[in-house]
Amino acid sequence: MRPEAPMPMVNAEIAADLNKLADLLDIEGANPFRVRAYRRAARVVQGLPRAVTDMLAAGENLDALPGIGPDLAAKIATLARGGELPQLTKLERALPPGIAALLAVPGLGPKRVHALHTALGIDSPETLAAAARAGTVRTVPGFGPGLEKTILRGLAEGALQQPRVRLDLAEQVATPLLAWLRGAPGIGQAALAGSLRRRRETVGDLDIVAEAAVAGPIMDRFVAYADVARVIERGPTRATVRLRGGLQVDLRVVPEASFGAALCYFTGSRAHSIALRRRALARGLKLNEYGLFSGRRGIAGRTEAELYGALGLACIPPELREGEGEIEAAETGRLPRLVALSDLRGDLHVHTDTSDGGARLATMAAAAQALGHAYIAVTDHSRSLGMARGLDPDRLARQIAAIATLNTTLRDFTVLAGIEVDILEDGRLDLPDDILSRLDLVIAAIRSHFELPPERQTERILRAMDNRFVTILAHPTGRMIGRRPAYALDMERVMRAARERNCCLEVNAQPERLDLDDAHCRLAKEIGVKLAISTDAHSTAELGLLQYGIDQARRGWITAADVVNSRPLPALRATLRRG
C-alpha cells in the first residue's frame, strides 16, 4: 500500500493554486497589487521550461525568477513539495463554498463576483440564477440587461459542469505519468492518444496506449503511480484511474502487431474512427483497435502508416482527424503539408519589462536567438493599458532608439520595433500616426469594451484596420479559455476586410488564448488572409510557447505559406508593408 506522503505538484498545479488564491483575494476585495503579484507569479511558473521540483532539487533560488521575491518563492516551494498555503486554506474556509464556482460563468470575473456578493449577497450558482431570473443582477453598477442575459445563457449551457482541462495543463500532468509508465518491465512503445494527441485546446481525460507481450507489470506500475487517487477499473489489458487533480486516465496495453491500430483507434476522433471503419467495411474488411482484418487474417496494424496505407489513404496527421474532409483529402493526395515549428523564422509579438514583461530588451533578444529565431518583434503595450505600464509616444520613441542601438550589436538576428496598440471604443488607436509611422509593425488589439453589440464591435475593428500602419490584429476574438468568452463580432467580415487591407490575423500561442481557434484558422485560409503565429511572450520562458500556436494552426489545415513569420526577414518586411 502506498504511503500517504505529500504529492509534489507539477508547474500547472502550482500555477492553478496561485491563480485560485488571486481569485479569492480579488473576490474578497484585497489590495489589487497583492492580487496582481500572485497572478504574475502563476504566469511565471506556468511558463517555466523546467519543473519547479527539479529546480529545488538542484538548489536553485526561486526568488531569482522575474517578479518573484522571497515570500512568493517560499510559497511556490511549499506548493511544489505538496504542501498547503495557510492563506489559501483560510480564504477557502472564510468565503462561501459556492462563490468560487461563479468564476466559471461567462462574463464574471473576480471583481464582478465581489460586486454581486456585496450588493446582492450572491454566494452560489443557485442564488446567482435566482437573481438573474428576477432581473436584479442588472441593477448592480457595471452590470446591465445584456450581461444578465449572458449569465443566464451560460448557466443554462452548463457553465458550472466539470470543465475540460486546458491542453497545456493536461500535458504537464500527462508527461510525467507517461515517463513513469515507460519504466515498467517489458514495455515497448507507449504514447498519449485521445484529444491531447489531436492537440485540441482542452482535454476531457487522458488516453495512453502501450505495447508489450505481457501486460501485468505495466498495469501494476500504472495503478501504483503516486498521483493516482482512485483505481476505477482494472482488467488484464485495460485500466482506468482518477488522478488527484481530477483527470481520468485510461490505459490500454496491446501486442506489438496491434500498436498502430490501437493508437489510431484511441486517438479518434469518433467521427474519424467511424469513417475509417466504414471504409474498411466497404472493402470487405474489419477494423478495430487490434488491426485491420480480412476474416481472421490480419492485414495491417503494426503502425498507423501501414493501417492507412492498407485502406488506400495517406497517413493523416492526428490534428486533422476530426471528420472534416481529411479522409477525402488523404484519398486524393490533397492533404496539406502542415506548418511545423521548424518553419517559423521568428516571433512577432513579444513584451519586455518596458511594459508588463519580465525581462529586459536585450535578454529577450538573446533568448529568442538561442531558440534559433532570426528575428523578433518587440510589441509592448500602449498607454491606455495603465496596469501594464503602457507606453506613451515619448517612451515608445525611446524604445525605438534602444532597439536600433541593440541591433548594431547583434549578428544574424534582428529586433523589429513594434507596439501592441489598444483599439479604443470608437475604433481609433491609442497612439498617433506620427509615432506609429516609425515602427516596423503595429499590432492592434481590443483590451476593453468586450460587450459591445456585434455590429459595433465589428465596425470598431474595421475602423482600426483602416489605419494604414496596422499590420496585425492580435488575439482577434478576445477569448480566454475557461475564463472569458469571445466577444461577438462578424469574423468573416473582419477577415475579408483584413485581406483587402493586407492586414494579418494573429494566432496567439498563449495556451489560455489560442486565438484564432482552429475553425477560424481554416476560415482564414479559405478567405486568403495571412496569419502570424506568435507567443505574446511576457518572459523568456514564454518564448517557448510557439508550439501551441503551431498546434492550433495545424488543426486549421494551415501551411507554412499561410504564415508570414515563416518568411526570411526581407520577405517579411515586404509582406507587412501596406499600401
> Does residue 4 surpass a pLDDT of 60?
no
Instruction: Report the candidate in 117, 111, 116 with the shortest Cα–Cα distance to residue 139.
Output: 116
pLDDT in tens, 16-41: 888 888 888 888 778 888 888 888 88
What's the confidence (pLDDT) of residue 1?
34
Q: Taking residues 150-160, what's their average pLDDT?
A: 69
Average pLDDT over residues 2-23: 72
For the segment 441-491, what is each residue's pLDDT rounded down to a tens digit?
999 999 989 889 999 999 999 999 999 999 999 999 999 887 788 888 999
Mean pLDDT for all residues in the chain: 90
At residue 63 the predicted structure's pLDDT band, cuts being 50, 70 and 90, is confident
Per-residue pLDDT tens digits for 315-371: 999 999 999 999 999 999 999 999 999 999 999 999 999 998 889 999 999 999 999
Determine the Cα–Cα distance for residues 223 and 256; give it in Å rounded to an integer. 22
Report whether 115 contacts 98 (CB < 8 A).
no
Domains defined for the chain, CATH in brackets: 11-156 (1.10.150.110), 165-331 (3.30.460.10), 341-576 (3.20.20.140)
Q: Between these two residues, 285 and 385, which has the higher pLDDT value? A: 285
167 close to 203: Cβ distance less than 8 angstroms: yes
Q: Which of 184-188, 318-322, 328-332, 388-392 has the lowest mean pLDDT?
A: 388-392
pLDDT the model gives residue 160: 53
Distance CA 576, CA 416 (A): 12
pLDDT at 163: 64
Which of 454, 450, 497 minimizes the C-alpha distance to 473?
497
So what's the pLDDT on residue 15?
A: 83
In whole angstroms, give the CA distance from residue 431 to residue 442. Answer: 11
85: left (phi > 0), else alpha (psi -120 to 50), else beta? beta
The predicted model gives 255-281 an average pLDDT of 95
Mean predicted confidence (pLDDT) in 56-77: 86
pLDDT band at 3, cuts 50/70/90? Answer: very low
Q: Per DSSP, what are the bridge partners of residue 228?
A: 243
Confidence of residue 10 (pLDDT cuts 50, 70, 90): confident
Residue 326, C-alpha cell as written in the block: 481529411
Alpha-carbon distance of 68 to 74, in angstroms, equals 10
Strand boundaries in 217-288, DSSP class E: 228-234, 238-243, 248-254, 286-288
Give the pLDDT confidence score for residue 157 in this predicted structure: 61
Reading the block at residue 384, the C-alpha cell is: 491606455
pLDDT tens figures, 97-154: 777 777 777 777 777 888 888 888 888 878 888 888 888 888 888 888 878 887 887 7
Angle between helices 110-120 and 125-134 (to 10 degrees): 70
Task: Give the sheet arrangement for strand 286-288, strand by strand.
Answer: 286-288, 291-294, 297-300
Distance CA 39, CA 86 (A): 18
- What strands, in cross-sheet order, belong to the sheet with 190-192? 190-192, 206-211, 248-254, 238-243, 228-234
* pLDDT for residue 91 is more than 90: no
Instruction: Inform me whether the pLDDT recorded for 403 exceeds 90.
Output: yes
Predicted local confidence at residue 95, as pLDDT: 77
| Residue 443 confidence (pLDDT) | 97
pLDDT, tens digit (0-9, with 9 covering 90-100), for 112-121: 888 888 888 8
**Percent of the chain at pLDDT above 90?**
63
Helix (H, G, I), strand (E, B) or coil at 484: strand
pLDDT over 80 at 162, yes or no: no
Using 50, 70 and 90 to split pLDDT, how confident is the model at 388?
Answer: low
Q: What are the tens digits of pLDDT across the range 217-256?
A: 999 999 999 999 999 999 999 999 999 888 899 999 999 9
